[in-house]
């Protein structure tokens, strides 16, 4: 075992800490309160090169998906400052990585050019009342007409709706209902007039992600906008990578709450003793619980990332689910404890804990949700080798 991060990309990780603290954190409450896309953050992240994190070396990027440990640690650090921004950045970087991995050489170059030009790519897979598994008819479908794909349908939870430059739609092409054959990525320019955004996003948490619903009517794109082949979006080496990043992002919420609580309890003094409350045993007990949850979940996230790198996505799949479960449950419990520690102040609007507590709730439900994670881990234990990678 070795728990130090030794990577040529470590400089990016160190930079992420600074960006998080100096750039993202001061703005976080504004995007949250106004449910506004963190445009200024993205401008800064583009300038810092952080929207190119997953571009391969030949296109000028550090190809961070070949170094998943550093990748998730960067997300973790950014999320401490602003979970909305970290989550959206992860979506952009991950879909960029998938499209470039799956595309033809012309497509690769086109996507890299877009990203290098500061364009933001969104990924829209969610549909109401359906899952992305098994045989069924998707709401969003495309037909090839005169050399163009014509897309119709509806997507929900479309993060960065109206803000991203391109939408990557998860679309069923043709008449085959088997999504393992028919579900495809279609990269569409966001300014196509066939997109109608419902502007109804008014959420309790993750308000800055502006995840409106989108109606898609006769959006026609050239045939070369289809990237990869049928079934690619739900491949085991594709979809779980989103989940790994979510784990790191949601754990960042808990880490921010823990660090806030630590700082607060060191400085908060109550009369008449005037000792910092961190010297009170009930407070130490709470801090201890939070710290332990934090460290354990962080190890689970790092271990899943390491497994992805060392053994590949299939091997890492149950570990990613275990990490996602650990991270989101840990953040939910840490933010609960932090509010207890802060007392009534933690519930006031614009208090950082009030926001972090809300954000942590979304970790529990975002796919793969906690119950789904348990199911995946259980199946790996029951059906396959029960040992996780790295176990003696």
**Could you list the residues that contact another protein (CB under 8 A)?**
1-6, 69, 255, 262, 265-266, 276, 278-279, 281, 283-289, 291-292, 294-300, 302-303, 305-307, 322, 325-326, 371, 373-379, 381-382, 386, 388-392
Compute the C-alpha angle 265/270/273, nearest 5°.
115
Cα distance between residue 89 and residue 39, in whole Å: 11
Cα distance between residue 273 and residue 277, in whole Å: 10
Nearer to another protein by C-beta: 215 or 269?
269
Cα distance between residue 140 and residue 216, in whole Å: 8
Nearer to another protein by C-beta: 202 or 281?
281
- State the residue for tokens 């100096």: 22
Contact at 8 Å (CB) between 92 and 122?
Answer: yes
Contact at 8 Å (CB) between 38 and 89?
Answer: no
Contact at 8 Å (CB) between 67 and 10?
Answer: no
| Positions of E strands within 88-200 | 121-124, 141-145, 148-158, 166-173, 183-189, 195-197
Q: What is the DSSP letter of 205?
A: S
Min dist CB 372 to another protein, Å, is 10
Cα distance between residue 306 and residue 6, in whole Å: 12
Q: What is the DSSP letter of 387?
A: P
Rg (alpha carbons) of the chain, rounded to whole number? 21
The CA distances from residue 164 to 115, 137, 159, in Å, are 11, 27, 9
Instruction: Decide the pairing of beta strands 121-124 and 141-145.
Output: unpaired
Nearer to another protein by C-beta: 288 or 343?
288
Pull the structure tokens for residue 140.
Answer: 């969003």
């Amino acid at each position: 075992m070795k728990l130090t991060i030794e990577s040529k990309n470590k400089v990016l990780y160190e930079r992420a800490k600074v960006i998080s603290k100096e750039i993202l954190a001061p703005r976080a409450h504004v995007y949250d309160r106004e449910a506004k896309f963190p445009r200024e953050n993205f401008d800064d992240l583009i300038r810092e090169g952080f929207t190119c994190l997953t571009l391969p070396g030949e296109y000028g990027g550090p190809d961070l998906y070949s170094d998943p440990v550093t990748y998730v640690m960067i997300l973790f650090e950014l999320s401490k400052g602003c979970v909305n921004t970290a989550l959206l950045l992860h979506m952009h970087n991950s879909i960029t990585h998938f499209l470039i991995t799956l595309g033809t050489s012309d497509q690769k170059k086109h996507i890299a050019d877009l990203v290098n030009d500061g364009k933001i790519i969104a990924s829209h897979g969610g549909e109401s009342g359906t899952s992305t598994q098994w045989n069924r008819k998707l709401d969003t479908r495309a037909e090839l007409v005169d050399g163009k794909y014509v897309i119709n349908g509806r997507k929900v939870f479309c993060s960065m709706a109206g803000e991203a430059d391109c939408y990557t739609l998860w679309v069923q092409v043709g008449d085959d209902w088997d999504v393992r054959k028919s579900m495809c990525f279609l990269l569409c320019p966001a300014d196509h007039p066939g997109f109608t955004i419902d502007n109804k996003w008014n959420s309790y948490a993750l308000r800055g992600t502006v995840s409106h619903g989108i109606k898609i009517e006769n959006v026609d794109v050239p045939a070369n906008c289809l990237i990869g082949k049928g079934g690619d979006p739900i491949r085991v080496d594709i979809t779980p990578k989103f989940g790994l990043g979510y784990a790191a992002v949601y754990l960042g919420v808990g880490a921010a709450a823990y660090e806030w609580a630590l700082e607060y309890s060191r400085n908060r003094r109550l009369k008449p003793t005037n000792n910092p409350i961190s010297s009170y045993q009930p407070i130490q007990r709470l801090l201890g619980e939070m710290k332990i949850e934090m460290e354990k979940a962080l190890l689970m996230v790092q271990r899943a990332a390491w497994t992805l790198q060392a053994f590949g996505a299939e091997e890492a799949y149950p570990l990613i689910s275990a990490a996602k479960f650990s991270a989101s449950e840990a953040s939910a419990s840490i933010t609960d404890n932090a509010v207890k520690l802060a007392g009534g102040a933690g519930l006031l609007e614009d208090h950082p804990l009030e926001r972090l507590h809300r954000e942590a709730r979304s970790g529990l439900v975002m796919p793969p949700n906690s119950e789904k994670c348990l199911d995946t881990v259980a199946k790996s234990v029951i059906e396959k080798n029960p040992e996780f990678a790295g176990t003696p």
